[in-house]
Amino acid sequence: MEDVINDIYTVCHCNEVTYKDIIDAIKNGACDLESLMDATNAGTACGLCKSIQDDPAEKRAIHLDELLEKAKLEGLCNEE
Ligand code: FES
């Protein structure tokens, strides 16, 4: 079954961090992986949710690095 990614989708299972939590943190300036992990605790336990490289079995449908990429494309990060 395909995972549905919406606001309540749990991106990080270890720390129960949702898609909305991640997007909110990005909007508040957590525009790199380290700041995002600090702000939300996502990715700070098993690490599977950090990136596809950390999750070879693709247990998570989306990863923090992909969300950061998407957010940048959508202009959520103001980079100089
Ligand atoms: S799923 Fe995010 S740290 Fe384990």
In a domain, 36, yes or no: yes
By most ligand atoms within 8 Å of CB, the mutation choice from 9, 15, 22, 58 for ligand 1 is: 15
Ligand 1 pocket, 45 CB below 6 A?
Answer: yes
**Number of neighbouring beta carbons within 10 Å of residue 43:** 26
| Coil, strand or helix at 2 | coil
- What is the whole-number distance in angstroms between the Cα of residue 15 and the centre of ligand 1? 7
Give the nearest ligand 1 atom to 50 CA: 2
Q: Does the reported pTM lie above 0.85? A: yes
**Phi and psi for 42 in degrees, rounded to 5?**
-60, 140
Contacts of residue 18, defined as CB under 8 A and 6 or more positions apart, other chains included, come to: 7, 8, 9, 10, 11
The per-residue pLDDT for range 22-80, each reduced to its tens digit, is: 999 999 999 999 999 999 999 999 999 999 999 999 999 999 999 999 999 999 987 55
Residue 61 resides in a domain: yes
Residue 28 lies in a domain: yes
Domain with 21, as residue range(s), is 10-73
Residue 1 lies in a domain: no
Q: Is 61 in the pocket of ligand 1 (CB under 6 A)?
A: no
80 falls within a domain = no
The answer to whether 3 and 9 have CB atoms below 8 angstroms apart is yes
Q: In total, how many domains does the chain have?
A: 1
- The answer to whether position 79 is within a domain reads no
Residue 7 in contact with residue 58, Cβ under 8 Å?
no
